[in-house]
Amino acid sequence: MKKTKLISALLMTALAAFLLTGCGGDKGGENGEVIVYNWGEYIDPDTIDMFEEETGIKVIYDEYETNEIMYPKVASGTSNYDLLCPSDYMIQKLIENDLLTEINFDNIPNMKNIGQQYLDQSKEFDPENKYSVPYCFGTVGLLYNKTMVDEPIDSWDVLWDEKYSGNILMQDSVRDAFMVSLKRLGYSMNSLDAAQLEEARDELIAQKPLTQAYVVDQVRDKMIGDEAAIGVIYSGEAIYTQRENENLEYVVPKEGSNVWIDCWVIPKNAQNKENAEAFINFMCREDIALMNFEYITYSTPNDAARALIEDEAIRNSEIAFPDLSKYNDMETFHYLGEEGDEMYNEYWKQVKSAD
């Protein structure tokens, strides 16, 4: 799953670490280099090779597992990254702490391929769309097995239904778990109201005995293997599971949910800003965006790339490419500040420790 991608390219990471510590003096390709810091397994490696061949710019590529691992390395000012791919709330935090530089969109003509609905959604964390270019997006919803669930599913309420006791998989994530409970109660998933959070906490504690497990990546494999009836899952994972098990169905509950967006951004201390913009522009090219979509299965906000998808079922999939205007109360996660994070973490500890 995207939120917990494991680092897979150890050799590339080691090389990046070597160069970032100042031990490497070679500028790389004929037109210099660009140092990219991205999620693990979040790009088709062939696209990097193609970029280097077409531009003469050497890519030094490093990977991280979480936004929270990435942030302090950037905030310290000691890293030399030219390009990052954080999630929505982390982009907001980077902007608020003056750690990003504005993008020169004159250097990114392929920006025209990005759909307007994704740019509009991005305004929740980048109000003027000055610092970010959408790369991947998705929703969070319910995946259920039609052979184990004999009723229409359209609400988070099903996760509290006792007849599915022992067959419910919840995300082992503070914000995702509270998102489910807060949305079910009719509140914002970015709430900082203590009374609302306590109510959401109490509902999660009440639901806990019904769950089979709090999981992360395992929700995908358990649902494919018919080991649970219902699970909370990211849409990109749902697309993969349906390829493996035709009995699985995905739905975004009527109370609303999380729509997440990961974007390319450029740190303020980037040494190769124009090369970073060239890399973004290349990734926004429709054929390249299509390659990345097919490689990682997380949805692309690139409308031109979507038009190139040969499989009509995927091209027109409401899971892969939902019309966000048709859903109620879709939100992106906001950065809530240190006090907000502490509040959520404390309530989450109380949920996890409850009998």
| Domain 138-258+326-353 top-level CATH class | alpha beta
Contact 48, 61 (CB under 8 A): yes
Q: Which CATH code fits 2-132+265-322?
A: 3.40.190.10
Domain ranges of the chain: 2-132+265-322, 138-258+326-353
Q: What pLDDT score was predicted for residue 6?
A: 33
Q: What pLDDT score was predicted for residue 50?
A: 98
Give the Cα separation of 82 and 269 in Å (integer): 8
Give the Cα separation of 229 and 151 in Å (integer): 12
Same fold? 2-132+265-322, 138-258+326-353: yes
Tokens representing 294 are 């097919």
Q: What pLDDT score was predicted for residue 328?
A: 78
Q: What count of other Cβ atoms lies within 10 Å of the Cβ of residue 102? A: 10
This prediction has a pTM of 0.87
Helix (H, G, I), strand (E, B) or coil at 89: helix
Tokens representing 44 are 């088709």
Q: What pLDDT score was predicted for residue 27?
A: 56
Q: Which residue reads 């038009």 in tokens?
A: 307
Residues of the chain with pLDDT under 70: 1-28
pLDDT digits (tens, 9 = 90+) for 18-49: 444 444 445 567 889 999 999 999 999 999 99
